[in-house]
């Protein structure tokens, strides 16, 4: 049982965590903290949080566990605001999509409290945001990746692991480098492609007609372009090296397809599409 859980940033991820833990009867009191008082008040009305604070320092005081669910660019500031307030028994974690930048921010912001921070990342979400988007089922049978620090105690790691397991999630462990490389390919690049696709088509002269007749394929592919723009700006900047390398590789793949079309190379197209179909059909059970 977590007696007092502080969630900094009560959006989709934070609110879903609170709802899941409440459903599992694994938390006594949830305090929320964020920039929008309207969002926090809505959280109270929906039963997502039990109380809220405008101040990070006030929110984390006496908390057993602190979960930071804010854009990557604000992480260091959050760590700095809590560093002198959290008790020696408090365990801090995050839900950031990159781990290298978050750990760097934690080292700078937490100082001597760094050992109390267990980096984490739930592989779950949607294009929706805000406290109203939360659902207690979001983490059911989803992966939670933890990238523990050498400074962490096993007790702290176990506390965060158990918290996510109470939500129905499965825990996996990766190195920081491996996490950021894998997520650049499986999450960051697809989001970037969706944003770019919508921007490109919206800039065409006949874009109104294009969007008017957009069907399922377009909607499926671009759904994640409705995701929070601030969050994804920060992700791209934080994991830039890995992402740029993938973008360069993807450009070459597109060039290969374009060349095959230009030269009416039916066999090449069939080879490319057949390989992609086989890979997708094989991997779909793991997605």
223-255 pLDDT tens trace: 899 988 998 999 999 999 999 999 999 999 999
Read off the pLDDT of residues 33-53 as tens digits, 9 standing for 90 and up: 998 899 999 999 999 999 999
pLDDT band at 77 (very low <50, low <70, confident <90, very high): very high
Do 142 and 122 touch, CB atoms closer than 8 A?
yes
Q: Is the pLDDT of residue 285 over 60?
A: no
Can you give the pLDDT at residue 214? 80
CATH class of the domain at 178-286: mainly alpha
Residue 60: pLDDT above 90?
A: yes
pLDDT of residue 64: 97
pLDDT of residue 176: 96
Tell me: the pLDDT tens digits for 124-139?
877 777 898 999 999 9
pLDDT at position 129 is 78
Residue with tokens 């990342």: 121
When pLDDT is cut at 50, 70 and 90, the band that residue 213 belongs to is confident
Residue 170: pLDDT band by 50, 70, 90 thresholds?
very high
Query: Is pLDDT of 56 > 70?
Result: yes
Neighbours of 57 (CB within 10 A): 14
Write down the pLDDT at residue 73: 93
pTM of model > 0.75: yes
Angle between helices 240-262 and 229-238 (to 10 degrees): 100
Would you state the pLDDT for residue 194? 94
**Following CA atoms 201, 204, 206, 211 in sequence, which dihedral angle do they give, to the nearest 10 degrees?**
10
Structure tokens belonging to residue 85: 């307030």
Query: Looking at the domain that runs over 2-174, which CATH code has it been given?
Result: 3.40.50.720
Residue 286: pLDDT above 60?
no
> What was the pLDDT predicted at 212?
84
Determine the Cα–Cα distance for residues 100 and 69; give it in Å rounded to an integer. Answer: 16
pLDDT digits (tens, 9 = 90+) for 261-283: 999 999 999 999 999 999 988 87
**Counting beta carbons within 10 angstroms of the beta carbon of residue 226, is it exposed (0 to 12), middle (13 to 18) or buried (19 or more)?**
middle
Q: pLDDT at position 287, please?
A: 54
**Residue 111: pLDDT over 60:** yes
Beta bridge partner(s), residue 118: 93
Report, as an integer, the average pLDDT of 139-164: 97
The stretch 75-89 carries a mean pLDDT of 96
Q: Where are the beta strands (DSSP E) in 44-167?
A: 51-53, 65-68, 91-94, 117-118, 120-122, 143-146
Q: Give the residue carrying structure tokens 């400074």.
A: 151
Tell me the pLDDT of the chain averaged across its residues: 94
The Cα–Cα gap between 269 and 258 comes to: 10
**Residue extents of the structural domains in the chain:** 2-174, 178-286
């Amino acid at each position: 049982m977590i007696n007092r859980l502080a969630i900094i940033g009560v959006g989709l991820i934070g609110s879903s965590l609170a709802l899941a833990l409440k459903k599992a009867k694994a938390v006594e009191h949830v305090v929320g903290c964020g920039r929008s008082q309207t969002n926090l008040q809505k959280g109270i009305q929906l039963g997502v949080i039990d109380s809220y604070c405008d101040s990070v320092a006030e929110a984390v005081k006496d908390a057993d566990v602190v979960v930071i669910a804010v854009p990557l660019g604000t992480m260091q500031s959050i760590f700095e605001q809590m560093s002198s307030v959290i008790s020696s028994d408090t365990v801090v974690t995050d839900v950031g999509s990159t781990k290298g930048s978050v750990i760097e921010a934690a080292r700078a912001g937490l100082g001597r409290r760094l050992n109390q921070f267990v980096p984490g990342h739930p592989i779950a979400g949607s294009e929706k945001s805000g406290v109203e988007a939360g659902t207690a089922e979001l983490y059911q049978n989803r992966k939670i990746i933890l990238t523990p620090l050498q400074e962490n105690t096993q007790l702290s790691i176990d506390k965060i692991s158990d918290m996510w397991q109470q939500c129905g999630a499965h825990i996996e462990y990766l190195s920081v480098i491996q996490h950021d490389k894998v997520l650049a390919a499986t999450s960051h690049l697809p989001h970037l492609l969706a944003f770019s696709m919508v921007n490109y088509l919206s800039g065409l002269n006949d874009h109104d007609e294009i969007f008017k007749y957009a069907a399922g394929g377009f909607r499926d592919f671009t759904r994640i372009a409705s995701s929070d723009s601030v969050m994804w700006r920060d992700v791209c900047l934080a994991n830039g090296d890995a992402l740029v390398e993938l973008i360069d590789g993807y450009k070459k793949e597109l060039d290969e397809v374009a060349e095959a079309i230009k030269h009416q190379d039916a066999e090449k197209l069939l080879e490319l599409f057949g390989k992609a179909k086989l890979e997708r059909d094989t991997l779909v059970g793991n997605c």
